[in-house]
A and B are shown apart, each in its own frame.
Chain A
Amino acid sequence: MPSLKDLRNRISSVKSTQKITKAMQMVAAAKLRRAQSAAEAARPYADRMESVLANVGSSFGPGSVAPPLLAGSGKDDVHLLLVCTAERGLCGAFNSSIVRLAREHALSLMAQGKTVKMICVGKKGYDQLRRQFEKQIMELIELRSVRNMAFENADPIGKKLIALFEAGEFDVCTLFYSRFRSVIAQIPTATQLIPAKLAAQASAAGPAAAYDYEPDEGEILATLLPRNISVQVFRALLENAASEQGARMSAMDNATRNAGDMIRKQTQIYNRSRQAMITKELIEIISGAEAL
Chain B
Amino acid sequence: MAAFHFELVSPERMLFSGAVEAVVVPGAEGAFTVLKDHAPVMSVLKPGIVEVDESATKKQRLFVRGGFADVSATGLTILAEQAIPVEELDAAKIDAQIKDVEEDLSDATSDEGKRIAAEKLDQLREVRAVLSI
Contacts and interface: CB of A to CB of B under 8 A. Distances in A.
Interface of A: 38, 41-42, 44-45, 48-49, 52, 55-56, 150-151, 208-215, 217, 219-220, 223-224, 227, 231, 234
B47 interface: no
Contact of B79 (A38, A42, A48, A151): A48
Contacts of B12: 38, 41-42, 150-151
Given A209-B40, A212-B41, A45 B9 contact: yes
A88 B39 CA distance: 51
B7 A214 contact: no
Contact of A52 (B10, B13, B73, B77): B77
B43 interface: yes
A212 B7 contact: no
A49 B77 CA distance: 10
User: Do most interface residues of chain A lie in helix, strand or loop, or is the interface mixed?
Assistant: helix
A211 B41 contact: yes
Contacts, number: 75
B68 A45 contact: no
Shortest 10 CB-CB distances between A and B: which pairs?
A214-B43, A41-B13, A151-B11, A209-B40, A45-B9, A212-B41, A211-B40, A44-B14, A52-B70, A44-B9
A197 B42 CA distance: 20
Contacts of B42: 52, 55-56, 211-214, 217, 220
Given A214-B29, A214-B44, A223-B68, 11 more contacts: A41-B14, A45-B9, A52-B42, A55-B42, A151-B81, A209-B73, A210-B40, A212-B42, A213-B43, A231-B11, A234-B11
Contact of B72 (A38, A209, A213, A220): A209
Contacts of A52: 42, 68, 70, 77, 79
A211 B77 CA distance: 14
A212 B42 CA distance: 6
B48 interface: no
Interface string B31-60: 000000001111110000000000000000
Interface residues of B, number: 24
Given A211-B42, A212-B42, A219-B44, A42 B11 contact: yes
A150 B70 CA distance: 24
Nearest to A45: B9
Contacts of B17: 44
A223 B42 CA distance: 12
B23 to A, nearest CB: 15
13 contacts: A41-B14, A42-B11, A44-B17, A52-B42, A52-B68, A55-B42, A55-B70, A209-B40, A211-B40, A211-B41, A213-B41, A214-B43, A223-B68
Nearest to A37: B13
Contacts of B40: 208-212
A58 to B, nearest CB: 12
B24 interface: no
B105 interface: no
A208 B79 CA distance: 19
B72 A55 contact: yes
Interface string B63-96: 0000010101100010101000000000000000
A221 to B, nearest CB: 10
A53 B44 CA distance: 13
Contacts of B27: 214
Nearest to B80: A45
B68 A220 contact: yes
B9 A48 contact: yes
